[in-house]
Amino acid sequence: MKLMGNRLHRKHPCRPAMLAVVLVAFLSACADPAPPSPAQSFLIQGATIVDGTGTPGYIGSLRVTNGVIAEIAPADADNALSPTQGEPVHDATNLVLAPGFIDTHSHHDGGVLEEPTALAAVSQGITTIVAGQDGGSRFPIADFFTALDSTPAAVNVASYAGHGTLRRRVMGDDFRRAATEAEVAEMQTLLEGELAGGALGLSTGLEYDPGIYSTTDEVVALATTAAAHGGRYISHMRSEDRALLAAIEETVEIARRARLPVQISHFKLAARGLWGRTAEILARLDAARAEGLDISADVYPYEYWQSTMTVLFPERDFTDRAAARYALEELVAPDGMLIARFGADTTLEGKTLAQIATQRGTDPVTTYIDLIAESRAARAEGRDGGESIVASSMAFDDIATLMSWPHTNISSDGGLRGAHPRGFGAYPRVLGRYVREEGRLGLEEAVHKMTELAARHMGLVGRGVLKVGAAADMVLFDPATVLDRSTTTQPHLTATGIARVWVAGTVVYENGAVAGALPGVVLRRQ
């Protein structure tokens, strides 16, 4: 039906898009004796077009005019596209042309005003990032968006409003308690301002300070405010390990009481005792959906996460040896805990907890508690107390199964300069390992989860599908070679097989390097 539509369009040469092209050409010809710039239009020929909808790919051509997809046609169709006089042509034989990837859980906004070419994102085919995750966002969002309007990035940027950000503004350092009714009302007022500023909805980080001290009622109250303004809810849940099932129940309760679309961030089973229980957990979410609740999830393709050392202490007693022992036995083994950043003693960065324990001659539990104490002491003294770990906690098979759930899209959870390789590798890793090497997802299915499904889960309109009239955010990749290269020891290696990336029809990445163009726009809630 879609192709038929294109064919019909082609029989009407006076359609508005073409009139606009003619008009632009005419006006520029009047203003300037030079011929109209052919760069306003280009043709990609011979690509396998995987349009993002999940339907089978086909060999075809696609024309972009003024940043918008103007025409698409199969190579063997009567209306196969051929270049006009002087029109640039990209031969894409043996390559896949897909919509640019939409990263629904991104930290690539950190430093993006300073590094707007966003190599980490564009080099893996990402053309839109969704920021403001885990309960933390720029405040006010309108200022961040205004800054991006005047100094754009290579990628499009959308953002949630973070619950933790609002909570800190209202409660200050006195956040280790439930908020009062008046404080919740104040947070609701701030949230309304953020929603008016274009936030997609509310994000929470209920495993982190200060969100961990909130009650479910507080979150429901704020989610209800988001719902009233057509917003959505996205959550790093209260637990991803020992209390995962309770955290899922809380998320379902929030969806039921606040009545809005809910997305579980970086869905994972991060405890040995949970491994293999995906069927049971997905059945619970399917039951919630059958009840009419709009619950979806995103997943990144790694067996290890990156966070703080303290996140594994839900009771926040960092001297609790039993809690430390539980964490190292059930959640992250000492040789699976890589110290990514440790401001109090940077010589420890790049070592595992097991190695540091050996070096110090202490047992891993003691070492773990000591390191947290050292970072907190540094912070108390005004020195750099920052720390983060990359921790192996998940099983490949669980990740692949969660990823295959029809309501899961792909995300990176990555940053521009992060210590986790996902910042540069998440999308190529799915395409190379989960699709090509392991056959756990079909190519069209994987692309759908990176594009149209992701856009739907974020409420982004006009993105994520290759269709006439859509913004020409696109990635051209080689399905035979696409693969991540970034690792925990070299997290900033760009992937192989990503040939070219466009945002709004402008090349932002090709031949392994950023192009320097900054065509990204802010995607405010519609």
**Which positions touch Zn ion (CB under 5 A)?**
134, 236
Please give the Cα distance from 192 to 409 (Å, whole number): 28
Tokens matching residue 343:
């401001």
Tokens matching residue 416:
């521009």
Q: Which residue number has the CB closest to Zn ion?
A: 236
If the CB atoms of residues 236 and 422 are measured against Zn ion, the closer one turns out to be: 236
If the CB atoms of residues 47 and 234 are measured against Zn ion, the closer one turns out to be: 234
Query: Which of 153, 181, 314, 345 shows the shortest CA–CA distance to 246?
Result: 314
Find all residues with CB under 8 Å of 33, minimum gap 6, and list them.
none
If the CB atoms of residues 204 and 401 are measured against Zn ion, the closer one turns out to be: 204
To the nearest whole angstrom, how small is the minimum distance from the Cβ of residue 240 to Zn ion? 8
To the nearest whole angstrom, how small is the minimum distance from the Cβ of residue 266 to Zn ion? 5
To the nearest whole angstrom, how small is the minimum distance from the Cβ of residue 208 to Zn ion? 8
To the nearest whole angstrom, how small is the minimum distance from the Cβ of residue 163 to Zn ion? 13
If the CB atoms of residues 305 and 509 are measured against Zn ion, the closer one turns out to be: 305
If the CB atoms of residues 108 and 236 are measured against Zn ion, the closer one turns out to be: 236
If the CB atoms of residues 236 and 448 are measured against Zn ion, the closer one turns out to be: 236
Please give the Cα distance from 219 to 238 (Å, whole number): 12
276-283 LR contacts (CB < 8 Å, sep 24+) = 276/395, 276/397, 276/398, 278/398, 278/401, 278/402, 279/401, 281/244, 281/245, 281/248, 282/401, 282/402, 282/405
510 near 497, Cβ under 8 Å?
Answer: no
Q: Is 30 exposed, middle or buried (0-12, 13-18, 19+ CB in 10 A)?
A: exposed
To the nearest whole angstrom, how small is the minimum distance from the Cβ of residue 506 to Zn ion? 31
If the CB atoms of residues 51 and 134 are measured against Zn ion, the closer one turns out to be: 134
Tokens matching residue 524:
């405010």
Orientation of helix 364-380 relative to helix 353-360, angle to 10°: 90
To the nearest whole angstrom, how small is the minimum distance from the Cβ of residue 242 to Zn ion? 17
Q: Where are the beta strands (DSSP E) in 226-294?
A: 232-236, 262-264
408 near 298, Cβ under 8 Å?
Answer: yes
If the CB atoms of residues 104 and 352 are measured against Zn ion, the closer one turns out to be: 104
Q: How many CB atoms lie within 10 A of CB 461?
A: 12
Provide the pairing of β-strand 58-65 with 68-74. antiparallel
To the nearest whole angstrom, how small is the minimum distance from the Cβ of residue 201 to Zn ion? 16
Please give the Cα distance from 227 to 136 (Å, whole number): 19
Provide the pairing of β-strand 498-503 with 337-342. unpaired
If the CB atoms of residues 134 and 183 are measured against Zn ion, the closer one turns out to be: 134
Q: How far is CA 350 from CA 346, 386, 446, in A?
A: 9, 15, 32
Find all residues with CB under 8 Å of 465, minimum gap 6, and list them.
51, 52, 53, 99, 451, 452, 455
Q: How many CB atoms lie within 10 A of CB 333?
A: 18
To the nearest whole angstrom, how small is the minimum distance from the Cβ of residue 402 to Zn ion? 15
To the nearest whole angstrom, how small is the minimum distance from the Cβ of residue 105 to Zn ion? 7
If the CB atoms of residues 45 and 409 are measured against Zn ion, the closer one turns out to be: 409
